[in-house]
Structure 1
């Protein structure tokens, strides 16, 4: 798994956009008291359930791998000329 250049910022943006997506979909919303791990897990599972991302293999499901998947998802949602997609 090759780390993306702006992976932390992409993950932060994925959580922001994912929260809006989950709320509009009626799946729930993030609370201020929710941990980062809970947010990542919830959003990862929601996107897998909605078939917006391909699930990780069962033995590969971990916090770093889910974060990477969310960052990849976000990088694909942004336009090519977006600052977070610059390499």
Structure 2
């Protein structure tokens, strides 16, 4: 897994966009007390369920790999 340029910023942006997507879809309501790790896991699983990103093999699912997948997803959503 090759780290992306500005991956931390992309993950923050992916969480913000993903939270809006999940709430608009009616799939979840996030609280201010929810940790970023919880949000990352929920958003990863929601995007996999909606077939917006490809799932990782179950033995490779971890926080860093889910964050990486979200960063890739958001980087592809942006118009250059």
Q: Tell me the TM-score normalized by structure 2.
A: 0.97
Specify every segment of 5 or more residues in structure 1 that has no aligned partner in the other structure, as ranges: 81-87
- Size of the aligned set, in residue pairs, is 80
In the alignment, what sits opposite 1:38?
38
Q: Which runs of 4+ in 1 moved over 6 A?
A: none
In the alignment, what sits opposite 2:72?
72
Instruction: Say which one has the larger Rg.
Output: 1
Structure 1 residue 30 displacement after superposition: 1.6
In the alignment, what sits opposite 2:2?
2
Coordinate RMSD, CA, aligned: 0.6
In the alignment, what sits opposite 1:48?
48
Post-superposition Cα deviations, 1:46-87, rounded to whole Å, max 9, x if no partner, equal 00000000000111100000000000000000012xxxxxxx
Which is bigger in relative contact order (C-alpha 8 A, separation at least 6)? 2
Q: Tell me the TM-score normalized by structure 1.
A: 0.90
